[in-house]
Amino acid sequence: MARNLQNTTNEDADSEYAARRMAFHPYNILMTLVLMGITMLFIAFSAAYIYTRFQSNVPTIEVPNIFILNTFVLLASSFTIRWANQSYQKDDTKKYQTALLVTIVLTCLFMVLQMIGWQDLIHQEILLASSNMASYLYVISGLHFMHVIAGLPFLILFYRAALKKMKEPVSVLVYFSDPEKRLKLKLLTFYWHFLDALWIYLILFFLINRLF
């Protein structure tokens, strides 16, 4: 019994060590730095927007309704990538592949609707050079758009790998037991949730500014 207790203690220690090592994995550190940089960038633009608006005493630009609709599209993509994570943890190949594909489709839909929203602004003759407020709206929404585009190739790579490597029981087992792949999927999911939260913040930021 003492030997069993010792084995259990060693296993717990090994698990704790592995978890600690993964927490300080270079990918985790890099993602933390990236998200901190993005956060500071948008905080700076938000502060500059407010300063310019009150300094110049100019009205804000109304956010196109399609931008608000896009919030729900991005929320849905956050849900589906979380679904992909859950399917991965349960070793459910089919649902994992489906969840990744739906996430990719929703992301593409978000980008298309975003471009339609910009077209709507152009039809209203609200151009990038129309005013400082218009410039901020284009630049801030454009920066978020670029960060969505930056994440899309990783989604596609995950989906491609899932189709290519998850065909036989052995390859599926190897795929699902890869701790580095699990970490990358977790980080991608966290990045997607971050973009979702960031977009909600931006929409609320512009809408609240309309009230003052």
Mean pLDDT, range 16-35, rounded to an integer: 72
What letter does residue 66 receive in the DSSP assignment? Answer: H
Amino acid at 57: N
Average pLDDT of the chain? 86
Q: pLDDT tens digits for 109-167?
A: 999 999 999 999 999 888 888 888 899 999 999 999 999 999 999 999 999 988 887 77
Residue with tokens 């589906």: 80
Of 149, 36, 33, 171, give the one whose Cα is nearest residue 93.
171
Mean pLDDT, range 79-87, rounded to an integer: 94
Return the CATH fold of 2-210.
Four Helix Bundle (Hemerythrin (Met), subunit A) (1.20.120)
Number of H helices, E strands in the chain: 7, 0
Task: Please report which confidence band the pLDDT of residue 23 belongs to, taking 50, 70 and 90 as the band edges.
Answer: low
**pLDDT recorded at residue 13:** 43
Amino acid at 193: H
Q: Can you give the pTM of this predicted structure?
A: 0.84
Domain map of the chain by residue range? 2-210
**pLDDT recorded at residue 177:** 78
